[in-house]
Amino acid sequence: MRTSWSDSVANSASENAAASGSFGPPPTRATYIPPHLRNQPPCSDSLAPPSLGNDRVGYSGPVGGSRWDGGGSRPDHGRSGHGSGGRGGGGWNNRSGGWDRGREREVNPFGDVEPACGEQENTGINFDAYEDIPVETSGHNVPLPVNTFAEIDLGEAVNQNIQRCKYVKPTPVQRNAIPILLAGRDLMACAQTGSGKTAAFCFPIIAGIMREQYVQRSHGGRTVYPLALILSPTRELSSQIHDEAKKFSYQTGVKVVVVYGGAPINQQLRELERGVDILVATPGRLVDLLERARVSLQMIRYLALDEADRMLDMGFEPQIRKIVEQMDMPPCGMRQTMLFSATFPKEIQRLASDFLSNYIFLAVGRVGSSTDLIVQRVEHVQEIDKRSHLLDLLHAQRETEVNSKHSLTLVFVETKKGADSLEHWLYIKGFPSTTIHGDRTQQEREMALRSFKSGKTPILVATDVAARGLDIPHVAHVVNFDLPNDIDDYVHRIGRTGRAGKTGLATAFFNENNMSLARPLADLMQESNQVVPAWLTRCASRVSHGGGKNRRTGGARFGGRDFRREGSFNKGTEYYGGNSGGGYGLPAGFGGGYNPAVASAWDQ
Ligand SMILES: Nc1ncnc2c1ncn2[C@@H]1O[C@H](COP(=O)(O)OP(=O)(O)OP(=O)(O)O)[C@@H](O)[C@H]1O
């Protein structure tokens, strides 16, 4: 049984054809009406969406067509007006009328909360904290940013969901990225942790699927044909993106499904068979499904890589290339590609440009920088003293937290064994904690996360598997018990606190084993207006003069801006017509020399 939007359209092409030119009588339940035609107002002109794909006007062949190996025939996206901005019978669906069976059964991801005019509140996001953030864009014809959701035409159903989420106004990355994506442009976007990147790519994908039409295509066997693919590096992050996307797409008719490793594949297959428009996936499980021919990427119109720099570093790049270049996905130029992260080393930007066509680079805040909503402390602690030092911190925290029992502490360690052992020790010392790392079963990982989120075990000891993307409310303190080797990993780890405009605290234990991080850490702290201890500055200058054991210096990866602006990019300056804020380029001594990170802690 297939109930997704795309599949419903495929099964109802004749009705679509009849409906596309006129709005006709109100729909009945027996007649399928595609979302963009449901409950049309008498005059659709005022609701006509902005032209999509205007940058693709006149597109006559795939960019990088040599890579296209889709079996000789390109996917027929069959969307009216593709590349021309025209879409017959355009406009938006809304909630009443034209329900399909999938929507009837749809669980309300918001529980009982219904939007009520004038009752909006924001989720605590401190927008003033973001007002001064420098924004830099580069690329041809950059669409202008917006200030409010009202200025963006996402359709009535999505607007209702924005209200249900209690988002009052778009965050800076949303203000800039959503118009770019709605205009059909490819995008490489870098914005600080916790600044709302998920919605920035989900809204345009959902809106795009709702307003485009796809002609009937024969779907063979049990293979499913999603229209959008969102890839992320960990199971928990994929699951979180899925939950968010379900909220944003509630009552739009757009079907979102998640697949990741460690969970029973049969259950996921059954879910896929019910229909899928947006597929959220970790790369390993997706490759498995592609090889079993249970998923085809032929119809992919939107490709999003969250944590894109992680997805393209050495651990994941082969799988990503396989998915994007060697299966049946339309080549760049024939799909819209969006890459998001808080960090974007230049070498990764260079790699990523293979997947993009005439893209816009967007940096909200310094690329790879951390938000100054997070107070960062670095303490010199010898290996042998780390546990007692942590205990002191936790005791002090406990004393100041008598009135806020729901404040959570996330402790990052280097190894899975180290995580288990520290968790056990904390338990003995009277601090209920749990762990998340790659040696735990998926069920254990999910239980641990639930127990942490609920405050039942308010301390989570984690490896890097929890470093990126996870949006856990009330994480007040991130402790880098073991510092990472890479400054970008540090940025993501501390970004688990200080989210959505809230403040947070990050403490790092530093010793001789971390000398290679001294310089990038001192620079990062300085940029984020933090107090840099004198001893760290001394360490940093010592390392800069040839010291340091660890050669995987984070600073070497620290990207500053659009790599196309560097001299090494031979297409010259023609790319840069954007509304660049400029003036915040690379700090001296940064750039080049990317050393890929080891992927052991991550989900394949
Ligand atoms: N416009 C908005 N108004 C209020 N809250 C928002 C808005 N957009 C997003 N949020 C909230 O901000 C929080 C952080 O968003 P999100 O997880 O998308 O951040 P992110 O930029 O992807 O972070 P990371 O880099 O760590 O992955 C979420 O709880 C989300 O619901």
Q: How far apart (Å, rounded) are the C-alpha atoms in residues 58 and 55?
A: 9
What number does the ligand 1 atom closest to the CA of 307 have? 27
Report the alpha-carbon angle 194-200-203, nearest 5: 135
Q: How far apart (Å, rounded) are the C-alpha atoms in residues 430 and 475?
A: 20
Q: Which residue has the tokens 């360690």?
A: 413
Q: How far apart (Å, rounded) are the C-alpha atoms in residues 582 and 134?
A: 8
Among 121, 158, 198, 307, say which to mutate for ligand 1: greatest number of ligand atoms within 8 Å of CB.
198
Check if the beta carbon of residue 282 is closer than 8 Å to that of residue 469: no
CATH class, 374-543 region = alpha beta
- Kindly give the distance from the C-alpha atom of residue 39 to the centroid of ligand 1, in angstroms, as a whole number: 31
Total Cβ atoms within 10 A of residue 91: 26
- Kindly give the distance from the C-alpha atom of residue 233 to the centroid of ligand 1, in angstroms, as a whole number: 18
What separation in angstroms does the CA of 102 have from each of 106, 163, 254, 300?
6, 23, 9, 21
* 552: Cα separation from own chain's centroid: 26
- Kindly give the distance from the C-alpha atom of residue 169 to the centroid of ligand 1, in angstroms, as a whole number: 12
Tokens of 259: 């697949």
Q: How far apart (Å, rounded) are the C-alpha atoms in residues 193 and 467?
A: 11
The pLDDT assigned to 33 comes to 37
DSSP state of 177: H
* 145: Cα separation from own chain's centroid: 20
Which residue has the least CA distance to atom 2 on ligand 1?
A: 167
Which residue has the least CA distance to atom 27 on ligand 1?
A: 469
Averages of pLDDT over runs of 10 residues in the chain (604 residues) are 47 35 33 36 34 31 33 36 35 39 70 50 56 86 94 92 94 96 96 94 96 59 94 96 97 96 94 95 97 96 96 91 96 96 92 94 83 92 97 89 74 97 96 95 95 95 95 94 96 93 93 95 92 95 58 38 62 34 29 31 44
Q: How far apart (Å, rounded) are the C-alpha atoms in residues 438 and 448?
A: 12
| Stated pTM of the model | 0.78
Q: How far apart (Å, rounded) are the C-alpha atoms in residues 314 and 312?
A: 7
Check if the beta carbon of residue 339 is closer than 8 Å to that of residue 361: no
Which residue has the least CA distance to atom 1 on ligand 1?
A: 170
Q: How far apart (Å, rounded) are the C-alpha atoms in residues 590 and 588?
A: 6
- Confirm whether the ipTM is greater than 0.95: yes
Length of the chain, in residues: 604
- Kindly give the distance from the C-alpha atom of residue 25 to the centroid of ligand 1, in angstroms, as a whole number: 40
Q: How far apart (Å, rounded) are the C-alpha atoms in residues 504 and 487?
A: 19
What number does the ligand 1 atom closest to the CA of 495 have? 26
Tokens of 279: 């597929």
Among 193, 499, 503, say which to mutate for ligand 1: greatest number of ligand atoms within 8 Å of CB.
499
- Kindly give the distance from the C-alpha atom of residue 163 to the centroid of ligand 1, in angstroms, as a whole number: 15
- Kindly give the distance from the C-alpha atom of residue 153 to the centroid of ligand 1, in angstroms, as a whole number: 20
Which residue has the least CA distance to atom 15 on ligand 1?
A: 196
Which residue has the least CA distance to atom 4 on ligand 1?
A: 167
What number does the ligand 1 atom closest to the CA of 171 have? 1
Query: Helix, strand, coil proportions of the chain in percent (round to 5)?
Result: 35, 15, 50
Which residue has the least CA distance to atom 20 on ligand 1?
A: 194
Residue type, 323: I
Which residue has the least CA distance to atom 3 on ligand 1?
A: 167
Among 165, 174, 488, say which to mutate for ligand 1: greatest number of ligand atoms within 8 Å of CB.
165
The pLDDT assigned to 370 comes to 74
DSSP 3-state of 417: helix
- Kindly give the distance from the C-alpha atom of residue 30 to the centroid of ligand 1, in angstroms, as a whole number: 39
The pLDDT assigned to 170 comes to 94
Name all residues whose Cβ lies below 6 A of ligand 1: 122-123, 125, 167, 170-171, 174, 191, 193-199, 342, 469, 471, 495, 499-500
* 98: Cα separation from own chain's centroid: 31
The pLDDT assigned to 567 comes to 54
- Kindly give the distance from the C-alpha atom of residue 194 to the centroid of ligand 1, in angstroms, as a whole number: 5
- Kindly report, as residue ranges, where domains of CATH 3.40.50.300 are found in the chain: 127-364, 374-543
Total Cβ atoms within 10 A of residue 583: 7
The pLDDT assigned to 415 comes to 96
Q: How far apart (Å, rounded) are the C-alpha atoms in residues 87 and 211?
A: 8
**Which CATH architecture group holds 127-364?**
3-Layer(aba) Sandwich (3.40)
- Kindly give the distance from the C-alpha atom of residue 469 to the centroid of ligand 1, in angstroms, as a whole number: 9
- Kindly give the distance from the C-alpha atom of residue 196 to the centroid of ligand 1, in angstroms, as a whole number: 3
